Structures are given as structure tokens and as C-alpha cells.
Homo-oligomer: A and B are copies of this chain.
Amino acid sequence: MSHHSASSIGVIGLGAMGLGTATALLDAGLAVIGCDISAQARETFASRGGRSVATPTELAAECDRVVVMVVNAEQVDAVLFGEQGLVGVMAPGSLILQCATVAPSYAQELGERLAQVNLLMLDAPVSGGVAKARSGELSVMSSGSEAAYAKGQAVLDAMAATVYRLGAEPGAGSSVKLVNQHLAGVHIAAAAEAMALGLRMGLDPDMLYEVIIHSAGNSWMFQNRVPHILKGDYTPLSAVDIFVKDLNIVHQAGRELQLSMPVASSALQQFTAASGAGLGREDDSAVIKVYQRLSAFDLPAANDSDGQG
């Protein structure tokens, strides 16, 4: 399809995270080709000086390293093995960096399937959010072979501040990410539930936030998400439906491993209820509205701009 040698870096999925990462790679002076089915996403990347294509097949021959930053395992499968997928077009020895949050069993199997077609894989889910994607300072929870790491070094250097190397086989990276998502999801639901309790008891929510972040009840998520509640601003930085998805992966892993996880299960039900109430695209802190709709307290209003003191 192309007479260029395959030495560019592809970034498939120009959503918030992928767009940030693709831009960070550009900033690092690397040759990048973006890919997204959405013309609007491609235009945004173009406005940042990036070239992009609509289908994985279009970039496959030019790239020997491809970052796959899509939403779920189904999309990973489609961009790799689908009709317009990478596999069959990319040169042998090329590298796939699998960055989606997927089931560890899927990631492990994916490594085997890619090995069969002579492609290297890093199981490389990321953490850190959109701002850190944009600045090339993500954390990467990764696993894979020495050969895969060697091939991916320049990409990892440009996209991440910290690369955890968690094992020689795909699956370990996704396993650690899954544990992180378990905790992150539970902590968001717990933060919402605790703030609901405080509001229902009539406490001043700003004062309560101030005490808790300096106390043993604090969590990274409490400190990060509760300000959205205090401001009444549910603009999605990460949406409710992301945790419906990720806690369902936790749930499915528990089923496969026969491990009962009632705390994660109760948090999943709260996110499911939020999604069922039409809040799926709101910020994940909107899970507090599940409590508000079932109880006698008011949430801080959006125009209460002094909310955080």
C-alpha cells in the first residue's frame, strides 16, 4: 500500500486519551499517524499538526509500532483482526501496544494470537487521565517480552512518566490495571456514598471535604472527584459508563476465578443504577445522584461557584 519504509508510529483511537497521547508523541518529534473512524477526531488531530487516517489498514504498512487506545476488547479485536484491521498488513516483527482496559485473560490470549502472526505485543494499560496523556506523563502498567520492550522503548519514553514492567507475558499488565480499577471504582462510589451521608446529616460539604482529605478516610479518588460534586460540575472527565465497563470486567474476572468480591459488586450496582438513570455520559462522580434521587438532601448547585472555598 505504501513505498515508505514501515517506521512510523500509529495511534488508533483518537478519543480523549488517544488524542492526548498522539499529540505527546508528535511533541516528542516522532513520526505519528493517527487513526479514528470519526472525521471530527481526525480534524482535531490535524489542527494539532497530525496526519491521520480512517481505518487501521491505511496506516498498517507505514507503521512498525501501533498504540491501540480504544475503549474495550471488542474494539481492540476489530482494529487488529477486523476487515480493515492491522493483522495481515503490518510487517512481521512489528509491535502492538495494547492500552485499553481489558480482561487479563483476553490480554493473555491476545499475546498468543499476535505471536502466531509474528507480531510483538506489549500489554500496556495506562493510568493518569487526559491531562497526563497530553503531556506524555502517563503511568503504564505493562508486561511483555524483552523484544517487545526494546521495540517500544521510544514510544513508552514519549507517552509515559512511569512504566511499570510487571512480567514477561501479556496479561500481567492488565491484571494490575484491573486491581487498580477495582479500587478506583469502589473509591468513587464510596466517596459519593460518604458525601451523601454527610449531606443527609446536614454537614457543610466543603468543610467535610477539607477534614476528610486530611484524615484516614482519604483516597486519591475522594480528593480528585469530590470537588466536582462541590462545584456541581458533572462535565465528564471520565464518565460513569467507564466504570460500568471496568467494574464489569472485575466482576467477570471474579466469576472466572471464583472469587466473591461483594464490595466491588455493590459499587458496580451503583454505577449501573446511575447509568440506568440516564447519567452514563456524565462524570463518574455523578454516581452521587443515585443517592440523591433516593433520599432527602440537596446536592451543591452548579452556580455555587464558591463551593470549594
What residues make up the interface of A, taking CB atoms closer than 8 Å to B? 104, 127-129, 139, 141, 162, 164, 166, 172, 175-176, 178-184, 186-187, 189-191, 193-198, 200-203, 207-208, 210-212, 214-222, 224, 250, 253-254, 257-267, 269-270, 291, 294-296
Write the nearest CB–CB distance from A141 to chain B, whole angstroms. 6
Q: How far is the CB of A185 from chain B (nearest CB, A)?
A: 9
User: Across the interface, do B175 and A198 meet the contact criterion of CB distance under 8 Å?
Assistant: yes
CA distance A228 to B45 in the complex (A): 48
- Among B182, B201, B263, point to the contact of A257 (Cβ < 8 A): B201
Determine which of B176, B208, B263 lies in contact with A267 in the assembled complex, contact meaning CB atoms within 8 Å. Answer: B263
A202-B166 Cα distance, complex, nearest whole Å: 12
**Closest CB in chain B relative to A283 CB, distance in Å:** 14
Contact B222 A183 (CB under 8 A): yes
Most chain B beta-carbon neighbours within 10 Å: one of A191, A210, A295? A295
Distance to closest chain B CB from A111 (angstroms):
16
Residues of chain B contacted by A296 (CB below 8 angstroms)? 258
Q: Lowest 7 CB-CB distances: which A-B pairs, in order?
A: A183-B217, A219-B219, A180-B217, A266-B266, A262-B266, A186-B190, A175-B201
**Quick check: A215 and B266 within 8 Å, CB to CB?**
no
